[in-house]
């Protein structure tokens, strides 16, 4: 379990255009210096947003990692719910799911008329 380093990778990617280029160019080489379990490495390489969420990756890092992979907002939210359905509850951290997969925002919001 090296959640710290999983999150560190996402932190490093978020901060640096060069790191993003190196990561996208050769993921294996980029990940070489980070101690990861096989499950963590697989989750990043795929990328498996749902599994990363379940592993405990902070959403503030994960949503930008999803954006890096051009995963749009609604698909990002769905991927986290799917991750829980597949792998069980979030294992660490403070970004757990509390709403049992319920959607709290609409695709387009319109104020109810009185």
Paired tokens of 107: 């695709």
CA dihedral 52, 55, 61, 66 (to 10 degrees): 10
Among 42, 46, 73, 75, binds other proteins (CB under 8 A): 73
Q: How many residues make up the chain in this entry?
A: 114
Q: Which helix H or strand E contains 28, and what residues bound it? A: helix 27-31
Q: One symbol per residue from 40 to 59: x for binding other proteins (CB under 8 A), - otherwise; what is it?
A: ------------------xx
In the complex, the smallest distance separating the C-beta of residue 97 from other proteins, rounded to whole angstroms, is: 5
Question: Which residues here bind other proteins, judged by CB under 8 A?
Answer: 4, 7-8, 11, 14-15, 58-64, 67-68, 73, 77, 80-81, 84, 94-99, 101-111
């Amino acid at each position: 379990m090296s959640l710290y380093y999983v999150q560190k990778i996402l932190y490093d990617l978020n901060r640096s255009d060069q790191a993003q280029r190196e990561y996208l160019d050769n993921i294996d080489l980029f990940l070489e210096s980070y101690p990861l379990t096989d499950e963590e490495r697989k989750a990043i390489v795929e990328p498996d947003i749902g599994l990363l969420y379940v592993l405990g990756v902070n959403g503030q890092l994960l949503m930008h990692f999803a954006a890096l992979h051009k995963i749009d907002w609604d698909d990002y939210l769905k991927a986290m719910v799917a991750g829980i359905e597949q792998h069980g509850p979030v294992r660490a951290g403070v970004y757990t799911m509390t709403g049992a997969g319920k959607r709290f925002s609409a695709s387009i919001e319109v104020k109810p008329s009185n």
